[in-house]
């Protein structure tokens, strides 16, 4: 496994819509494993393939608490089948927008369909932090970021800040 570089705002790739994965092969499984290592090393609880520069519909998650055993999940071509009616607010961060957090209200429960590592179709109900993380990562697959939940003024301020940081860091 290898730790991959995470692309950050203002990289335009983050705004692309990810394409479905047609075949689950060794390359896809290696990418999933590398993404898990990258996510754990960041550290984070979720990562979409687009965040490591691969515009494919692949997400990894692990919402286990500190006192719980790791629970890595690989979701291939995930889709939300149904959203619950109750809402919950979580303070969300994003590995592609470092050191920035925003309160976002999302449905508290959902029904999810995806392919697992073995290509088996799975359906699961999710709630709480797991449901929030799924929605966050699936937003990435559609080119949507947490800053899109802000007012235009606040969003523009965040984008300007990250563009300025990118210019300061410059090419290596």
Instruction: Report, as residue numbers or ranges, the catalytic residues.
Output: 137
Q: Which residues contact 34 (CB under 8 A, 6 or more apart)?
A: 1, 2, 3, 4, 52
Q: Which residues contact 74 (CB under 8 A, 6 or more apart)?
A: 32, 36, 58, 59, 60, 116, 117
Which of 62, 50, 60 is CA-nearest to residue 20? 50
The answer to whether residues 90 and 129 touch, using CB atoms and an 8 Å cutoff, is: yes
């Amino acid at each position: 496994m290898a730790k991959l570089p995470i692309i950050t705002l203002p990289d335009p790739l983050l705004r692309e819509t990810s394409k479905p994965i047609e075949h689950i092969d060794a390359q896809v499984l290696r990418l999933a494993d590398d993404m898990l290592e990258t996510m754990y090393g960041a550290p984070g609880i979720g990562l979409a393939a687009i965040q490591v520069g691969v515009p494919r519909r692949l997400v990894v998650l692990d919402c286990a608490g500190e006192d719980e055993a790791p629970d890595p999940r690989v979701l291939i071509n995930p889709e939300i089948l149904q959203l619950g009616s109750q809402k919950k607010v979580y303070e969300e961060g994003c590995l592609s927008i470092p050191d920035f957090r925003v309160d976002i209200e999302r449905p508290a429960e959902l029904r999810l369909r995806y392919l697992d590592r073995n290509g088996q179709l799975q359906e699961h109900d999710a709630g709480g932090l797991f449901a929030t993380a799924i929605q966050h990562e699936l937003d990435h697959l559609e080119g949507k970021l947490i800053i899109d939940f802000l007012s235009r003024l606040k969003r523009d301020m965040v984008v300007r800040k990250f563009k300025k940081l990118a210019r300061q860091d410059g090419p290596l």
